Structure 1
C-alpha cells in the first residue's frame, strides 16, 4: 500500500510527535510518503528518521495542486492523508483531480487552534472547518475528538478513532533525582512528593488551576512540591499567583527542559495535567511509562486512559478543590500512589503503545480503500427502527447488538437508525440517525435500502401506548411499499389487548413482513392467536445476549464513583415504577434487610432506565436500616453487564437486567410486571419469579434463599444461556439471507 501524507511542515507539539513516530513505523510495513509545504526542522527530523520526505513550497495553491496531482498519480498512491489546515484545504482540492479517497487526522479542536488570534481564526480556522467537511473520512485523535465533531454535524459513519501511542521500552537508569531537581531550581529533599507537568504556559493548559490546587494540597501535606516544565505568555502571571498563594518556594518554573523528557518524568512522583481541551496528550502516556500516579482533567481522550479512582484521578477543568484533594490523597499515601502508578502503566503499555497505534492506522487505511472501492448499487444498506434514544439501557443494548451483528455481515453497510434522540444515537454508535418522526428522511432512506429491521424488544404491543403500535405498524407498511425486505428481529410480541389492534397488527404483519424472529415461545403463541400466518416465523433469542461486559477497570471505576466498594458481596435490585409498585415497595426493603442479615449481601439498586428507575429505587430503599448503594447511572450496556457480574443475586423487574445477568451466569429472581419477564425466565429454565401483584416479603425472601443456593451451582443456567446465544445467531442468518449475501 502507498499513502501520501500532507502537512504544512511547521508543526510542533503532539501533532508533530504523532506524525513523525507514526510514519517512521508505518514505513516498516507500507510506503508512507511525507510531503511538507515548507522546509525546516520538521522536515529535517523526518529525514533523520528515515521517512521519505518531499518539499512542495510556495503560496500558489493551484500550482501546488497541479504538482501534487501529477506526483500522486504517477506514484501510484492509494490514499491521501492530511494533517492540519493547509493540508486539509489542498486535500479537498485533490479529491476531484485524483479520484482518490482523502482523509484527515484531526489533532486538536480547530475552533481553539487560533485562540487569542481572531484574524487567523476568522480566516484559517474557517477555511479549515470548510475543508474538513469536504473530505471523505476523518480520523479523530481520541473518541472524544470524534464525538466533538459529530456534535458539529459531521457524518458519524465517516470517522475513525486513533490514540497517540509511545514506545514503552523501559528507559535506561536516569540517575539520582535529588541533584537533578535541585539543579532545576526546585527546593526538594528526600521526603518530597514531587508533582510535575510539562506544558506550554498558555490559557488552554490552565496552569493557574494547577497552582491553586497545589496550594490547597500543600496546606494539608507539606511534603508536596510542584515542578513546571515549559514556558509561555502566562509565566509571569503564574509566578505572581504562586507568590500570592504562599507557595513560591515550593513551586519551580523550570522553563523548557533540554536533554529529553525521560530525566524529567523519572524525577516525579505524580504527573498532572490541567488542560481545558485536549485530544490525547503524550504527556500522560510518557508519565505512565515511568509508573507515575496521575491526576488530570476529564477532557478529550483522557478518560480512555484513566479510570478514575482505579489508576488515577479525573476532575472537571478549573476545579482546583477536586485537584487539591486528589494531590493531597496521593501525597499522604505512598502505597496508594505506587499502586495507581503501576495500574496506569499496565493499561497504558498494553493499550496505548506505538505498535497499537500503527496497527490501528493500517486497519483504517484498509477500510478506507475497501469503502472507496465499494460498488455503487441502486439499493444498499439497512434502516433500523426501535425504541432507541430514550435513555433505556435495555432498548439501546438491542440496537448495539443489532449494529454489531450487521457489521459482522458487512462492515461497510450503509445504516440509518430511527431514534427519539438521534444526536445521542450518533454519538453512541457512530451511525447515521434521524428523528423517528422525521418522515421524509427515513422514507427517502427506505427507497434505497435493501432491508428494514423492526429492531427487537416488545414493539408490537398496546399496553404502554397504542400510538407506538400504530407507529411501528405504519413504518413496517411504508418500508414494504418502498421496496425493502422486512425483518422483525429477535423481538417479543404483545400483549396486544384490543380486538381492533389485534386485527390491524395481523393484517399489517401478514402483508408486509418477510420474516419474524422471536426471543421466546410465548410470542410465537401470541402471533398464532392473532392470526399471523404469512411471514416465516423462527424462534431465536434476544440480541442483547451477545453483548459483553466492559473491561474490569471500567466497571471498577463506575462502582467506585457510585461509592460501591469493588470487593463486596452484593444483592442487586433492578426496579421500575409500575402500577402497584409503591404499595409493594416495602416488600423490596424487607427482602434487602433479610438478605443482608442472613446472607451478608449488601443491597445495590441499579437503574437500567436512568431517567425513571432511580425514583423506584429511592422509594424501595426508603427507611432501609442496612448499608445500601445506588447505581443511578451505570453507563452503557457494557458497564451495566460488568456491574451485574459483580452481584451474587439479581432481583429484577427489568427484563434486560435479567438478560444481562443471565449472560454472566448470575442467579436470578424475577418480579413480573409484564408477561415478557416470565416468558424469558421460563425460556431459560428459571422458575424463581412472581407477579408484582402477588409479591410478599416471605415469598421474595424464599426466592432469594434459593437463588443464593444456585450461586454455588451456576452450570444449569450457564448451559441454558449458551444454548440461547447459539440460537440468537438465527437472527443474523435471516438478515444475511434477506440482504442476498
Structure 2
C-alpha cells in the first residue's frame, strides 16, 4: 500500500482543515497516511478524536528549521513513497527538506497564494515571497479547481505536473444542528419570520463583505422583510459594522462572530451568499448544500464548477452588488424555485463531491505520480 506523509501547519481552522480530514477518511483503506503538524492546536485535537495518525513537531516560529532533520529521518526511516504538503508553512519547510529526501514532494494549492497574506503588508512581502520560492521546489501540484490549474499554468508551472482534486465532503458524517429558532435566539436575532440571507467567511478584504453590505442596502430599499446574518471574525469587522450603520440598515444585519456549529447556521438561513474576490472550491457551498440551501456567489475560482446558473444557484460578477440584490429578491419572491435549487445542489454534492470520490481520485493521482517517477528512473 502506498505510504504518504502529509505536512500542515496545524493552526488551520477553515477549508484546509476540512479538506485534510475529508481526504483522510476518503483514503482510509486505500493509502497509508500520517500527518505531521508544527503547531499543537484544535486541528491536532480534532484529528486525534477522528482516529487520524498525527504527530506534532513543534516550531517556535516559522523560521525554526530544526524540524527539517527530524522530518528527513521520519521519511527515510519510515519508507514513505510521497510527501504531501498543505499551506505556506509546510511549503517553506519542504524547500529545505527537498535536499534530504529521495521521494516525490507534492503540494495542494488551496487558494491563490498571491493573495493569502494580502491583509498584512509585512506578511505579504515576506511570506508570499518565500511561498513563491518554495512552490518552485515541488515535483507535483494538486489544485482544488480547474481554475487554479490554469492559474498555475499561466504563472509558468509545468502543466504535466499539475493535477486537479476537487474538495469533497463527508456525506456519512452525522449533521448536528439546533432548531432555527434556538439558533437565532442564541445570537439575539430579532426574528419574526423574515427571509434569512447568510454569509459565512472570515472578515478580510479578499472575501469582499463590502459588496455584501451594499447588496443588503440595495435589497432592503425594495423589501425590508429580510434579515442578513454574517458569520465570521476578522480585521474588517468594525469597518463593516460602521458601513451598515452609515447605510442605516444595521437593524437588519447581525454580525454573529465565529460560529462553531456551522450546520446550525446553514439550517437557519434560506440562502447562502459568497462575495469573494478569489476562492478555490469553498466548503461553505458544500456544507450549505447538505441542508438543501443554495448559494448565490461571485463567479470566481472553482465556484462555477458547482454553482450552475438557475440549477444549483446563481453567479454574479465580482463586486456587482446590484446583481446579488436582484437574485436575493428573486428567491424571496419565488420560494418554489428556492426549494428546487436546494434539492438540486444537495443531489449534485452527494453524487460528485463526496469523501469517497475525493479519496478515489487522490489515490489515482498518487499512482500516476509514482508510475511517472518509476518511468523516469528507467
Query: What TM-score do the two structures reach when normalised by structure 1?
Result: 0.49
Distance 1:22 1:170 in 2: 13
Structure 2 SS opposite 1:147: helix
- Equivalence for 2:142: 139
Report matched runs for 1:204-215 at 5 Å: 204-215=206-217
Change (3 A) 1:61 1:257: closer
Change (3 A) 1:189 1:139: same
Correspondence 1:189 to 2:192? yes
CA shift digits 1:292-326 (9 cap, x unpaired) = 12100111110000011222110111110110111
> 1:118 pairs with 117, 121, 124, which one?
121
- By how many angstroms is 1:167 displaced? 2.0
Report matched runs for 1:373-522 at 5 Å: 373-375=374-376
Correspondence 1:283 to 2:284? yes
Change (3 A) 1:239 1:62: closer
Structure 2 SS opposite 1:340: helix
Does the 8 Å contact 1:212/1:320 carry over to 2? yes
Correspondence 1:323 to 2:324? yes
Query: What TM-score do the two structures reach when normalised by structure 2?
Result: 0.93
Change (3 A) 1:249 1:375: closer
- Equivalence for 1:252: 254
Structure 1 SS opposite 2:279: coil
Does the 8 Å contact 1:69/1:94 carry over to 2? yes
Structure 1 residue runs without a partner (length 5+): 378-741
Change (3 A) 1:289 1:9: same
> 1:81 pairs with 65, 79, 84, which one?
84
Correspondence 1:95 to 2:86? no
- Equivalence for 2:30: 29
Distance 2:53 2:174 in 1: 28
Does the 8 Å contact 2:22/2:170 carry over to 1? no
- By how many angstroms is 1:169 displaced? 4.1
Distance 2:40 2:12 in 1: 11
Does the 8 Å contact 2:216/2:228 carry over to 1? yes
Does the 8 Å contact 2:26/2:360 carry over to 1? no
CA shift digits 1:368-390 (9 cap, x unpaired) = 1111111457xxxxxxxxxxxxx
Does the 8 Å contact 1:186/1:251 carry over to 2? no
- Equivalence for 2:45: 44
- By how many angstroms is 1:354 displaced? 1.6
- By how many angstroms is 1:24 displaced? 4.0
Does the 8 Å contact 2:195/2:225 carry over to 1? yes
Change (3 A) 1:182 1:48: closer
Correspondence 1:68 to 2:35? no
Change (3 A) 1:347 1:65: same
Does the 8 Å contact 2:25/2:359 carry over to 1? no
- Equivalence for 1:361: 362
Distance 2:56 2:27 in 1: 20
CA shift digits 1:514-551 (9 cap, x unpaired) = xxxxxxxxxxxxxxxxxxxxxxxxxxxxxxxxxxxxxx
Task: Specify the structure having the higher radius of gyration (Cα).
Answer: 1
Change (3 A) 1:173 1:104: closer
Correspondence 1:240 to 2:247? no
Change (3 A) 1:68 1:293: closer
Does the 8 Å contact 1:38/1:56 carry over to 2? yes
Structure 2 SS opposite 1:219: helix
Distance 1:24 1:170 in 2: 11
Structure 2 residue runs without a partner (length 5+): none
- Equivalence for 2:155: 152
- By how many angstroms is 1:339 displaced? 1.1
Structure 1 SS opposite 2:150: helix
CA shift digits 1:195-216 (9 cap, x unpaired) = 0111111111111111111221
Structure 2 SS opposite 1:211: helix
Distance 2:171 2:42 in 1: 26
- Equivalence for 1:627: none
- Equivalence for 1:225: 227
Which gives a bigger RCO, structure 1 or 2 (Cα 8 Å, sep 6+)?
2
Deviates more, 1:241-250 or 1:340-349: 241-250
Report matched runs for 1:728-739 at 5 Å: none
Distance 2:40 2:173 in 1: 34
Report matched runs for 1:459-608 at 5 Å: none
- By how many angstroms is 1:125 displaced? 1.4
Change (3 A) 1:92 1:166: same
- By how many angstroms is 1:179 displaced? 4.0
